[in-house]
Structure 1
Amino acid sequence: MGSIRLTSTTLDVITVLLTSTPDNPAWGLRICQEAGLGSGTVYPILERLLKAGWITSRREDGEHPGRPARTYYELTGAGRTNANSALEARAARYPGFFGIAPQGG
């Protein structure tokens, strides 16, 4: 499993991937919209995550009239573990940054 440079934009993409489910999978445009990022930022991140083994991709099956087939992205088991660890580490370094209030006084 390759290492990934965890920039804030990469973490935004990972956050969308963590919230996707088999019934509501993540695809490029959805990731762009939910992360608030352009395709020129999102697709290179997805490519790096694919090469590192953090995610898998698959083409949409069946009919999809009026639009091209979507490519769905899903975290692998190890990718999900790494993603959660990365978000926890970032939250610990920057308390309150991700909406987590600092503990103690």
Structure 2
Amino acid sequence: MTRVRRPSAQTTAVVLALAEKPATWRYGYELCQQLDIKPGSMYPILIRLTDRGLLEAGWETDVPAGRPPRHLYRLTGAGRALAAGLAAAPTPRPTGARVGWQGA
């Protein structure tokens, strides 16, 4: 039996942020600011999600003069399904966690 791994907390946050408005194209930098994730972590997440068919990516078409075009991202149907599953699933508790333990 193959075990399906839950995405990392950062990947989950990115997917759920994109799911807030699934049809809207978003910039990586905008997601970095919203989620307080550094670009060095954000862009590999976006690339992985795109490679797995969970995001579609495209280039900005209406670019102001003097600025290069930016990459845009939004969820695919499979990405929306993943987001729905992540939103409905309980957050896993770390193994060995002691419920109600106050410590000394």
Give 5+ residue unaligned stretches, structure 2: 94-104
SS of equivalent residue, structure 1 residue 53: coil
- Aligned residue type for 1:48: R
SS of equivalent residue, structure 1 residue 90: coil
What is the match of residue 16 of structure 1?
Answer: 17
- Aligned residue type for 1:40: G
What is the match of residue 47 of structure 1?
Answer: 47
- Aligned residue type for 1:10: T
Taking only the aligned residue pairs, the percentage that are identical comes to 32
In the alignment, the residues of structure 2 paired with residue 6 and residue 74 of structure 1 have an alpha-carbon distance, to the nearest angstrom, of 17
Structure-1-length-normalised TM-score = 0.73
Asked if structure 2 preserves the Cα contact closer than 8 Å seen for 1:60 and 1:70, the reply is yes
The count of aligned residue pairs is: 90
The within-5 A match list for 1:25-104 is: 25-91=25-91, 93=92
Structure-2-length-normalised TM-score = 0.74
Greater gyration radius: 2
Runs of 4+ off more than 6 Å: none
1:33-63 deviation digits (Å, cap 9, x = unpaired): 1111000110010011011100000000023
